[in-house]
């Protein structure tokens, strides 16, 4: 599927990777539905999208709120008639020390990294099932394959999202709905610039956006990138867990 002349819902579009994806897709004459919490940033992005030749609809929404997500999907359908493609690009991965964090912080992390996906999946599946077509992509993380130190709650939420997308892919295969799971490695976003976590093999936001669009257009089941990180994850999954754990601990700061 070429992402050209499509109606595309972009959740988490106001900054970072989502913003870069929007600007790259705007060059392909698409109808973009820009969804995030910050209206000013969305309005600025909408102007840039339209200057590049695409149409833009702005919807202010908190992805962690079920009612907000359902409203956003309904508004997009009312405005455009249908949604061809959705990219659910919501997530946050602060450092967690399990000896000092709280259950409240962990629940919040689960809301952001897992339930935000659920909130959009349900109305999107209902819509695309009636049309018997559609593509839903989710920006996951390579952390969803391993329990990373200082990233335990984040890794757990991303693993849950990975399994849910796998199940959706099987259940809705006959409805011609495609599910693409995108797994970036470390990306140089403003949010993680000073989080204190090592970022080996880091790539730029623009390069990550190119990978995401490629994964969506290829309708790959799972797209892990960049290639260097993809092979490291595959190797880690083959190694004994003790050895993988020992290697991961090497990257931890001495004062964690």
CATH number of domain containing 230: 3.40.50.720
β-bridge partners, 136: 86, 179
Give the mean model confidence (pLDDT) for residues 219-232.
82
106: pLDDT strictly greater than 60:
yes
Give the mean model confidence (pLDDT) for residues 54-73.
98
Among 121-125, 179-183, 204-208, which is the least confidently predicted range? 204-208
Residue 181 lies in domain: 7-249
Residue 255 in any domain: the answer is no
Continuous H helices in 81-183: 103-110, 116-131, 152-171
User: How does 96-128 read in b/e, with b if 16+ C-beta sit within 10 Å?
Assistant: beeeeeeeeebeebbbbbbbbbbbbbebbbebb
Phi, psi of 234 (to 5 degrees): -60, -40
Residue 132 in any domain: the answer is yes
d(CA 184, CA 17): 10
Residue 202 in any domain: the answer is yes
Q: Into how many domains does the chain fold?
A: 1
Q: What's this model's pTM, rounded to 2 decimal places?
A: 0.88
pLDDT in tens, 134-191: 999 999 998 888 877 888 899 999 999 999 999 999 999 999 999 999 998 877 766 5
98 Cβ neighbours under 8 A, 6+ residues apart: 152
Residue 254 in any domain: the answer is no
- What's 90's DSSP letter? -
The confidence score (pLDDT) of residue 191 equals 57
Phi, psi of 157 (to 5 degrees): -65, -40
């Amino acid at each position: 599927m070429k992402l050209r002349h499509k109606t595309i819902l972009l959740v988490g579009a106001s900054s970072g990777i989502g913003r870069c994806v929007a600007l790259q897709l705007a060059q392909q004459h698409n109808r973009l539905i820009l969804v995030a919490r910050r209206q000013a940033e969305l309005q600025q992005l909408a102007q840039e999208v339209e200057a590049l030749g695409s149409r833009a609809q702005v919807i202010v929404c908190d992805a962690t709120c079920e009612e907000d997500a359902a409203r956003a999907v309904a508004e997009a359908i009312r405005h455009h008639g249908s949604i061809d493609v959705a990219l659910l690009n919501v997530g946050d991965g602060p450092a967690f020390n399990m000896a000092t964090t709280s259950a409240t912080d962990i629940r919040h992390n689960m809301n952001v990294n897992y339930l935000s996906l659920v909130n959009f999946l349900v109305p999107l599946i209902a819509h695309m099932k009636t049309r018997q077509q559609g593509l839903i992509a989710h920006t996951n993380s390579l952390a969803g394959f391993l329990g990373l130190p200082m990233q335990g709650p984040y890794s757990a939420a991303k693993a849950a999202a990975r399994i849910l997308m796998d199940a959706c892919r099987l259940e809705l295969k006959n409805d011609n709905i495609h599910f693409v799971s995108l797994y970036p490695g470390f990306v140089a976003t403003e949010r993680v610039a000073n989080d204190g976590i090592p970022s080996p093999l880091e790539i730029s936001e623009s390069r990550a956006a190119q990978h995401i669009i490629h994964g969506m257009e290829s309708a790959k089941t799972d797209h892990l990138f960049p290639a260097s990180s993809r092979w490291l994850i595959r190797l880690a999954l083959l190694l004994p867990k003790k050895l993988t754990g020992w290697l991961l601990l090497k990257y931890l700061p001495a004062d964690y």
